[in-house]
Amino acid sequence: MALKIVKGSIDRMFDKNLQDLVRGIRNHKEDEAKYISTCIDEIKQELKQDNIAVKANAVCKLTYLQMLGYDVSWAAFNIVEVMSSSKFTFKRIGYLAASQCFHEGTDVIMLTTNQIRKDLSSPNQYDTGVALTGLSCFVTPDLARDLANDIMTLMSHTKPYIRKKAVLIMYKVFLKYPESLRPAFPRLKEKLEDPDPGVQSAAVNVICELARRNPKNYLSLAPLFFKLMTSSTNNWVLIKIIKLFGALTPLEPRLGKKLIEPLTNLIHSTSAMSLLYECVNTVIAVLISLSSGMPNHSASIQLCVQKLRILIEDSDQNCEPSVNACMKYLGLLAMSKILKTHPKSVQSHKDLILQCLDDKDESIRLRALDLLYGMVSKKNLMEIVKKLMLHVDKAEGTTYRDELLTKIIDICSQSNYQYITNFEWYISILVELTRLEGTRHGHLIASQMLDVAIRVKAIRGFAVAQMATLLDNAHLLTGNTQRNGICEVLYAAAWICGEFSEHLEDPKQTLEAMLRPKVATLPGHIQAVYVQNAAKLFATVLRSQESTPDTTAAQETSQLMIDRLPLFVQSANLEVQERASCILQLVKYIQKLQQKEVEVAEEVTALFAGELNPVAPKAQKKVPIPDGLDLDAWINEPPSESESEDEKPKAVFAKEEPKHTRSRHSEVDEKELARRREARKQEQANNPFYIKASPSSQKVYQDTPGVEHIPVVQIDLSVPLKVPGMPLSDQYLKMEEDRRQKEKDEKKKKEKKRKREKRARGRHVDSGPESEEDITPAHHVDIVTEEMPENALPSDEDEKDPNDPHKALDIDLDKPLTDSEKLPTRTHRSADVLKSPGGDGDGVSITGEPKKKTRKEKKEKKKAKDKERTRSAEDKKTKKKHKHDPEEEEANIHEVVTLVKADETQSTEPLPPSVSAGASDLDFWLTSDAAPSAIQEAVAATNTEMPTDADLGEVKDMEPEETKSKHKKKKLKKEKEEMEKKKKKKRHHHHRSDRGEAESVQNGTMEEDDEEPLPPMSNYCLLAENAYVKMVYDIQGNLQDGSQVVVSIIFQNMSSSFLKSMEFNVLDSLNSKLQRPEGATPHDGLTVPFQLPPGVSNEARFVFSVQSIVMPQKLKGTLTFIVKSDDSSTHEKLDFKLHFTCTSYLITTPCYSDAYAKLLESGELKSSSLKLEGVTMPFHHLLARICFHHHFSVVERIDSCASMYSRSIQGHHVCLLVKTAAETVSIDAKCDELMLLENVLEEIKQTFSQS
């Protein structure tokens, strides 16, 4: 046995490691595949062993083989085994292998969830690191859902190394599990301001990637990014931000104005070419967004284009040639951006672009081609295409030539053939293109031929002639089997010749050409078209021949068909076979009739009567669904439950998609549809190139032949329609030039005449060089628009790709979070709260703004609900209280308003370009040139304005000054609403006061008439302090859990050094325990989830569980931390005593006076009392203090007497009746737990004795 083990380990010594494998492969050059297969066998043996080191080695080798193209998915389970090794070395090998070969289809992935979760929470940062790196490559929707919360927690990890990886991977999680975006976003945003530049960069990366797809949702982050742009020194971050701004500016032109200055500064200051280039690019984007619709800005665009030109044509002698080439490429790239909006500015540099077509670098040539697309006009189209044709001839390498071909077709066919003035020329170009060898784009040429022939009626004669020539010379196209791509054009040629056979000069000849035996070598679908169109041609031939007295010719034609068709009947292609045999029988029947001398031509022609109209590709989709037709209803009963459940959801989803769009369509009302149809008709009628196919409009067109149509006749005469060989498009270019010259001359003559006439009247502005409109088409051309169903619904919806994963991420991020949006979590509750100080709990605020809103909303709701009840209660209890004076109340409103205003100003002032800025704040930021000062101004303005408008009505009537910004108006409106709300609130007397909220404290004062506002209050009291750190804390009960309290501690760095690795620990008592994560012993400390740069403070929350709450208690604890200065770091500690008061177990709970009365009447409560002497503060201050510090709410207040209520976390009711008379305050209290009550009273006493 022992020997076996020794032998095993010796064997293992001789196991191949990766290096041996590589060396072996290099030594077996001749039989590499064989060698590798033996290696794979060895690996399989190694994987069977129990030793994890052997397994890891085998997996490592597999990873290498995977790179060489070997499928290693069979080892997926072994990879998971290696991943779960406790040794980092092996874990890393396992995760690498997984990242290389796992994907969504790998089934063992679902086994990894718990392992990954374990690794993510590993104390070793590198275990977490490799898990994150691996996960980023193979995350699936399931993994994303299960791990989202864990990863989110890691975003606040103490180690920046983990934080940056966690932040980055969130993007992948969002893609796979879009629901996680909203809950995670606040923290992601927070990371934009992380002290670690790596984390910051990762956050910028993720947000930029998100924003690129749905920029409008991220517009509100613009101020923050702006701040980062002006403060960051990391070029990579800057590039990302600047690129992002490039995407945002089109949405918000005001943003552009703000950007110009810092961008220009960067351009001047940076030495990094990459940053410089991106700045220039964004400046261009800004200029474009600013100048659209503003002609005076196009001068700056012009300037940009000129600068780019210098970049493109100049080569710096000091630089490497490849660097110059890069700049040239990027210059062209930037120019294409300008081209989209300012084609005219770029068009003047046509020479340069054409010159770039001759560049030896294919990338540059492709860029230049791209630019040409936007540069063509009616005037230069022929010239540019001629240049391109030359390049087609010269081009080597099929990729570039194919690119040229598609570009030529794109250029010519763009915007419904807008720039083509002579379609004969275009057909010639297409025919010339068929000479290209080995192109993949035969079908593209074919579809163009078909499209033009069908839609441009005037060109059919010419097209048919050209196509006949093509069919005649088909052998040239099909001669080489390698040139299969191009024979697609024969499909078009055959169809055109057949369909428009009436235009053929010699249909018989074409018919013969189409029935040549060689045709049988063509692909099946082309043969099928040949056969079908041979029949059409046959009909035409018959008709022409029957009109002559000689009947033999017609019979000869039939015989020709009967002779040749059997070849096709034998075709392997079903379609060809079917058509051929059908037509063969038909022709045989015709022949029989012919032999009886029956005239058949008419009937045969009738087979193919009628014209085919072009139908838009989307036409079918646009057919509206008639009323009463439900496409989603089952035609048959749905399959029973027993059927496989896996397939069902899929079918459901597939169906849902169209249903949504349809229902949206039906919402567009009939009127709107009619209006749109009318508009479309109008547009088409006004555009000479959008002539409708309806005969009426055609007639109109023909009835009024303009002067400009005269040259048509000349050209028709001068073009030899029957070009013997291949047509030469160059001829057309020449002719076109002549024609235009002539037209110009004519026009000049006319103009001169006009000028002479006009000169008497005034100055005439010369129109300058020939403009677009001056060029008239050479033909009387109808471009038939593609047909759409009668009541087609106009929509652009269908342009979007439903499979785009980013569509799911188009989520409004400014809306506050709802409870249902929390991420699914499996971790222990307390651990979750502990680790995420900005987490998603109820009382835990993530960002100021949205959270505040929710709280306000909730409050409002509650108040509204309470109101009804309160009123009825008030009626009952009139005996107890004084009647309120409504007028007095009215007067109070003003006071309230000013208070609220003060509060608002306070909250807005420190915020200006704040993280939490909502949409309106963005407006504010954008409208102001220098943000902070403008905001201060605005605040000041509102301040001075508001108090004068004592009356609400006045606010309404007040005319906004002309200089006032929109935003201010908005703000006024908001405040008005605010006032109305307060007014409502005032109707009832009790209110809930919120701890720690200055605003709610002021709510407490609302009922006072004319008393000074409260001094600021805070519940945070000092916990401990030394030279490095100061801790203040507040304790709050946890409403959801009767045995928990949350201790919020604000850590403030008092030193000039960096504080890190803070660990918080307390000595648990029997009654109170600090909640630690699972697996931790009671002596383990908790890591404070942040570090503190000098002068910075941050808040962390810790959860404690308590058993008995009737007694106050103290816990001893220690904070340990590392003080890191420039040259040294020391370990420090700070002891503290955490005081749990009984008050801290109370939770502010509103109570209605009727319920309160019942509670008191029930007699279950024990009572106690307290007297405070020498209290000088106003009564409302006193109440506010009790509310604030001791978590009570006022139930009712009558003059100098008030009833108050609170509730403990374990459900004890605490009732107070507070009375005041001449500096003496007496409190009668009742509670179901006497001990608790007495302690609370004692604490209240202390509160007032301190002041």
Q: Within 331-370, which residues bind another protein (CB under 8 A)?
A: 333, 360-364, 366
CB 511 within 8 A of CB 472: no
| Between 64 and 1104, CB nearer to another protein | 64
Q: Least Å distance between CB 238 and another protein?
A: 10
Interaction of residue 88 with another protein, rule CB under 8 A: yes
CB distance 1232 to 1101 below 8 Å? no
Q: What secondary structure does DSSP assign to 495-551, as a single string?
A: HHHHHTGGG-S-HHHHHHHHT-GGGGGS-HHHHHHHHHHHHHHHHHHHHHHHTSS--
Using CB under 8 A as the binding rule, whether residue 33 contacts another protein is answered as no
Position 394 contacts another protein (CB under 8 A): no
Distance CA(117)–CA(151), nearest Å, equals 9
Closest residue by Cα to residue 702 from 714, 716, 691: 691
Instruction: Say whether residue 163 binds another protein (CB under 8 A).
Output: no
Which of the ranges 233-241, 562-570, 1121-1129, 1140-1148 carries the binding residues for another protein, by CB under 8 A? 233-241
Residue 64 engages another protein in binding (rule: CB under 8 A) = yes
Q: Which stretch binds another protein (CB under 8 A): 134-142, 838-846, 893-901, 977-985?
A: 134-142
Neighbours of 421 (CB within 10 A): 21
Find the shortest distance in angstroms from Cβ 322 to another protein. Answer: 5
Q: Which of residues 676-735 bind another protein (CB under 8 A)?
A: none
Give the residue, chosen from 32, 35, 53, 593, that forms a contact with another protein under the rule CB under 8 A.
Answer: 53
Contacting another protein within 253-292 (CB under 8 A): 272-274, 277-278
Is residue 1180 a contact point for another protein (CB under 8 A)?
A: no
Contacts of 1182 (CB under 8 A, 6+ apart): 1175, 1218, 1220, 1225, 1248
Quickly count: other Cβ atoms within 10 Å of residue 767's Cβ.
11
Cβ-based nearer residue to another protein, 36 or 130: 130
Of 212, 780, 852, 877, which one interacts with another protein (CB under 8 A)?
Answer: 212
Residues 622-681 that bind another protein (CB under 8 A): none
Among 243, 1030, 1124, 1139, binds another protein (CB under 8 A): 243
CB of 418 to another protein, least distance (A): 23
CB 783 within 8 A of CB 691: yes
- The residues in 186-205 that bind another protein, with binding defined as CB under 8 A, are 197-198, 201-202, 205
Note whether 255 and 223 are within 8 A (CB).
Answer: no
Task: Give the C-alpha separation, 221 to 925, whole Å.
Answer: 11
Q: Is residue 326 a contact residue for another protein (CB under 8 A)? A: yes
Residue type at position 298? S
Which among 97-105, 916-924, 1126-1134, 1147-1155 is the span making contact with another protein, rule CB under 8 A? 97-105
Residue 954, amino acid:
E
Segment contacting another protein by CB under 8 A, of 126-134, 520-528, 718-726, 933-941: 126-134
| Binding range to another protein, per CB under 8 A, among 21-29, 558-566, 622-630, 864-872 | 21-29
8 A C-beta contact, residue 1004 and residue 991:
yes
- The pair of three-digit structure tokens given for residue 715, joined into one six-digit string: 């050209």
- Contact of 506 with 544, CB cutoff 8 Å: no
CB 442 within 8 A of CB 482: no
CB of 341 to another protein, least distance (A): 18
Q: Does the footprint of another protein cover residue 13 (CB under 8 A)? A: yes
Among 66-74, 535-543, 762-770, 772-780, the segment contacting another protein (CB under 8 A):
66-74
Helical packing angle, 460-472 and 507-514, nearest 10° = 40
Residues 6+ apart with CB under 8 A from 477: 434, 470, 483, 486, 487, 489, 490
Cβ within 8 Å of residue 658, ≥6 positions away: 631
Give residues with Cβ within 8 angstroms of 22, minimum separation 6: 64
67 part of the interface to another protein, by CB under 8 A = yes
For residue 257, the minimal CB distance to another protein (Å) is 24
Q: Smallest distance, Å, CB 630 to another protein? A: 38
Among 6, 17, 38, 682, binds another protein (CB under 8 A): 17
- Does position 1020 interact with another protein (CB under 8 A)? The reply is no
- Residue of 942, 958, 952 whose CA lies nearest to 984: 952
- Closest contact distance (angstroms) between CB of 1057 and another protein is 22
37 binds another protein (CB under 8 A): no
Question: Rule CB under 8 A: is residue 373 a binding residue for another protein?
Answer: no
> Which residue from 321, 479, 566, 960 is in contact with another protein, where contact means CB under 8 A?
321
530 makes contact with another protein (CB under 8 A): no
Q: Can you tell me the distance from the alpha carbon of 333 to that of 343, in angstroms, rounded to the nearest whole number?
A: 14
- Please report how close the Cβ of residue 40 comes to another protein at its closest, in angstroms: 13
- The CA distance from 258 to 256, in Å, is 5
Q: Establish if 306 lies at the interface with another protein (CB under 8 A).
A: no
Nearest to 774 by CA among 374, 426, 378, 422: 378
Is 1246 near another protein (CB under 8 A)?
A: no
Nearer to another protein, 403 or 975 (CB): 403
- Separation between Cα atoms, residue 222 and residue 1007, nearest integer Å: 42
Number of residues forming the site for another protein (CB under 8 A): 87
Tokens of 1183: 């109440």
Which of 36, 93, 228, 528 is close enough to bind another protein by CB under 8 A? 93
Stretch of residues binding another protein (CB under 8 A), selected from 143-151, 229-237, 482-490, 945-953: 229-237
Judge residue 1192's burial from the number of C-beta atoms within 10 Å of its C-beta, 0-12 exposed, 13-18 middle, 19 or more buried: buried
Decide: is 923 part of the binding site for another protein (CB under 8 A). no
The amino acid that residue 1178 corresponds to is P
Residue with tokens 């006004």: 686
Q: How far apart are CA 793 and CA 789, in angstroms?
A: 9
Q: Token match 């552009």: residue? A: 256
Residue from the set 39, 40, 43, 56 that interacts with another protein by CB under 8 A: 56
Nearest-approach distance from CB 811 to another protein, in angstroms: 19
Q: Which of 30, 50, 71, 1012: binder of another protein (CB under 8 A)?
A: 71
Helix (H, G, I), strand (E, B) or coil at 1118: strand
